[in-house]
Structure formats: structure tokens, C-alpha cells
Amino acid sequence: MTPFPLTLADYLGHWGSYIVYLLIGFAFGFVLEISGFGNSKKLAAQFYFKDLTVLKVMFTAIVTAMILIFLTSAAGLLDYNLIWVNPTYLWPGIVGGLIMGVGFIIGGFCPGTSLVSAATLKIDGIFFALGTFFGIFLFGETVGWFEDFFYSSYMGRFTLPELLGLPTGVVVLLITIMALLIFYGGEYLEKIVGGKTDPAERPRWRYAAAGGLIALAAVVLVMGQPTTEDRWKWMEKEKSELLAQRAVQVHPGELLEKMYDKKLNLVLLDVRDERDYNLFHLLDARHVPFEDVKAYAEELRAEPANTVTVVMSNDEATATEAWKILVAESVSNVYILEGGINGWIDTFATDTFKSEIRPVSAGQDRLAYAFSAALGARYTIARPDPHAYDLEYTPKIQLQTVRGPASGGCG
């Protein structure tokens, strides 16, 4: 079972997908307006516990989206790795949240709701939206003064399951229960402070809806999230054919050519043990031991869209296993160095260089040459001159941009 790509452009074309985005935007704005989110008084009332509609609507949207995302991920219909999750910059995030909160209380809007209000020609919404644009401009002109702080305390794609050390399904269920308890308590606050209807007199169908959310969250907990092994099983048939057809094994000559291609962000991933890496490795190759490849996949997914990753080991055995992990973890444009480091040396070693090393019994994924000194990338063939060789090979590298969105936003 291959994860469904959920890429509208593949089915509707470039402009067709933009029409869908436009309709979604109008629908989102319409829902905000009919919920009363274009009224600054209603929005500000939540901070005085008189009207918690904003809390209930937004938290309902968050919980519903959370459950559906992890439910479809568990079923293999959605690749969570390719969903944009805002990276965490802890202290800048806290300060920014406080500034936005104060602005929300004073102005009665957040950036998204101010646009809804402005669209209905409300004066306060128009001024708030203009103020938002001015603030964006001012931030862009002054961020250089506090750039070090702005990028400080970086934690990457940091989520609650990582913070709490709990399985994703457990966190989904706990957040759902927490949200429903907040809704229940919020209704009593509205009654006490805002003089609203007694919660006991409100529609009974809310309890069925709450039970449905808890049931779906429980399903997420029972199903669990797919592991790397699960993802590989879903795509094993298709990807194994690529391996068998030698479609992802890159000839050393092609790799050498790409090392000089400035249009590519070439990542050379050396998954050998540290001893062999120190003896000899290609220039600019990153050393990532095989056991750390899965954790390193997140960093590779964050690389630019023009990134090509070539995995290498002494021969192809360990590199192939690393390739499977990276592909299963949704890293695009991953290839294997044909013949590994041994093949690279066989291809580019001159008689002079061969006199400095000696062949040894290689065995599976062992270095086939003995080096007199651990010079790493200081050997000439770590990045030889491509003009000095006339090699014939079939090009394999084809750049594919299969990535999630580049940024996120706030409603």
C-alpha cells in the first residue's frame, strides 16, 4: 500500500489546484465571519471570559484536524513527514506570542480575523489589517538588529509527543479530552461572567459529537503511527524494482559530474564506520553512521528542493539499507553510489595512487584497500578532475520535487 500523495496539482493541474485553494480560502473566511470572528468585540470578549466562542471554534478545528491527520497517517493515506510543522524557536516564540496576545486584546483581532473584518468593510478591521502590513514592513526593516535572538533556542520540528515522551496516539487522546473539558468549563465561565445560557439547557447533540471525537481519538491510539518498517512495506514492491533494475545506483562518473554542478545541492552521505571514513572519504561527504540514518532523515527533508542525496558505503550493502530507510522516511532524490567507495577507487585510482595503497580481501561491505595513513579527503581522488577521465555511463539522477509546503500560517 503506497501512501496517497494528496497533491492537487497532479489531478487538477496548476490552475485547477489554485481554484481549489481560492475556494477553500473563501470558505474559511465565510466560516470565520458567520462564527462572529469579524466582530472585534466578540473576539476581545474571550479575554474577559464573557464569550469563549473563539476558543471553542478554533480548538474544535485544531482537535478535528489533529485527529484526521493522524488517523489518515495511521491508515497510510497521508505522509506526516511531508506536512509542514513550524520549527520551534522557544524563547522568540514565547516573546512573539506575548506580543501578539497583547495586540489581540487591544485591537480585538488576530491577522487572519482582521482580514475577514476588513473584507466586510468594518473600519476597525481595515485599520488593524493596515497596521499588520505596517508591522510586517517594520519587522523586515529591523530584524537585523535582533537577528541572533530571533533564531535562538532552535529546536527543529519539535512536537508534544517528543516533549512528553509519549506515543502520538496517547497525546491525541489526551488533547481531545483536555479540549472537551475546557469547553465544558468554558460554558460555565460564560454563564457566571457573561450571563449566558446554563450549559445544561444547551443542545444535547454536543455530547454525541464529543463522544465521536473521543472515539476517533481512541482509534488513532489503537492503530498507532506507522514505523519506518511499515512505510517500507507499503512501498517495497515498487522500490525494490528500482533496486533490481539498477535505476538508483549512480555510476562514479556521474557522481563526479554532479559534484561540479552548481545547480544542485549535492549531499554525499557516508554511512560507514568512523575508522573507514577517516581512512578515506570523498570531499565534502557527511559522515552519518548507519544507526543514525533514520534520525538524520529529518535534516535531509529540510534541505532545499534541488537537493540530491547520494548514499555510500564500502560496497553497496549498507548504503542500500540506508537508502531504504531514507526513502521510507520520505526523503526525495536519494541514490546509491554504484560499487561504493571501493568502486570509486577502482574507477579513479591512478597507478601512482595504487602504489600508495594495497588491495586486501574485502568481504561484504569492507574496504578493499589498505591505506598507509588516515588522510580522509586529502587524497587526490577524493574529488578528481572530471576532465581527466573519459567515462561512459547511463545517467540515473533525475531531480524530483516531492515536498511538503514551505511554510505555515495562522487563521
- CA–CA dist 38, 124 (Å, integer): 10
- 276 and 145 in a common domain: no
At residue 11 the predicted structure's pLDDT band, cuts being 50, 70 and 90, is confident
- 275 and 194 in a common domain: no
The pLDDT of 327-351, averaged and rounded, is 94
- 211 and 158 in a common domain: yes
CATH code for the domain of 321: 3.40.250.10
Choose one of 181, 209, 228: the last residue of a domain: 228
Would you say residue 62 lies in a domain? yes
Instruction: Identify the pLDDT of residue 351.
Output: 80
Would you say residue 400 lies in a domain? no
- 260 and 245 in a common domain: yes
Amino acid at 149: F
Q: Identify whether the C-beta of residue 29 lies closer than 8 Å to the C-beta of residue 119.
A: yes
Give 23-35 pLDDT, tens digit per residue: 999 998 998 898 8
What Rg, from alpha-carbon coordinates, does the chain have?
Answer: 28
Burial class (CB in 10 A: 0-12, 13-18, 19+), 193: middle
- 302 and 359 in a common domain: yes
The pLDDT of 354-379, averaged and rounded, is 85
Comparing 101 with 13, the larger pLDDT belongs to 101
Cβ neighbours around 101 below 10 Å, total: 12
Give 142-168 pLDDT, tens digit per residue: 999 999 999 999 998 899 999 999 999
The pLDDT of 391-410, averaged and rounded, is 72
Q: What is the pTM of this model?
A: 0.81
DSSP letter for each residue of 240-296: HHHHHTTSSEE-HHHHHHHHT-TTSEEEEEE-S-HHHHHHB--TT-EE--GGGHHHH
Quick one: which of 328, 334, 350, 362 has its CA closest to 271?
334
Instruction: Identify the pLDDT of residue 403.
Output: 52
Would you say residue 351 lies in a domain? yes
- CA–CA dist 54, 43 (Å, integer): 6
Written as nine digits, the cell of 257 is 559530474
Give 246-264 pLDDT, tens digit per residue: 999 999 999 999 999 999 9
Instruction: Identify the pLDDT of residue 2.
Output: 45
- 38 and 148 in a common domain: yes
Task: State how many domains the chain has.
Answer: 2
Would you say residue 402 lies in a domain? no
Would you say residue 120 lies in a domain? yes
- pLDDT greater than 90 at residue 399: no
- pLDDT greater than 50 at residue 280: yes
Helix (H) or strand (E) holding 309: strand 307-312
Would you say residue 125 lies in a domain? yes
Weakest mean pLDDT among 89-103, 240-254, 260-274, 342-356 = 342-356
- 104 and 224 in a common domain: yes
List helix spans (H) across 195-268. Answer: 205-223, 228-244, 252-259
Instruction: Identify the pLDDT of residue 196.
Output: 80
Would you say residue 408 lies in a domain? no
Give the range of the structural domain holding residue 29, as residue numbers without chain letter.
8-228
Give 207-218 pLDDT, tens digit per residue: 899 999 999 999
DSSP code of residue 200 = G
- 149 and 34 in a common domain: yes
User: In degrees to the nearest 10, what's the CA dihedral of 339, 342, 347, 348?
Assistant: 140
Written as nine digits, the cell of 16 is 485547477
Instruction: Identify the pLDDT of residue 410.
Output: 55
- 181 and 245 in a common domain: no
Beta-bridged to residue 270, according to DSSP, are 287, 312
- 124 and 242 in a common domain: no
- pLDDT greater than 70 at residue 5: no
- 303 and 194 in a common domain: no
- 14 and 161 in a common domain: yes
Tallying the residues shown for the chain, one arrives at: 411
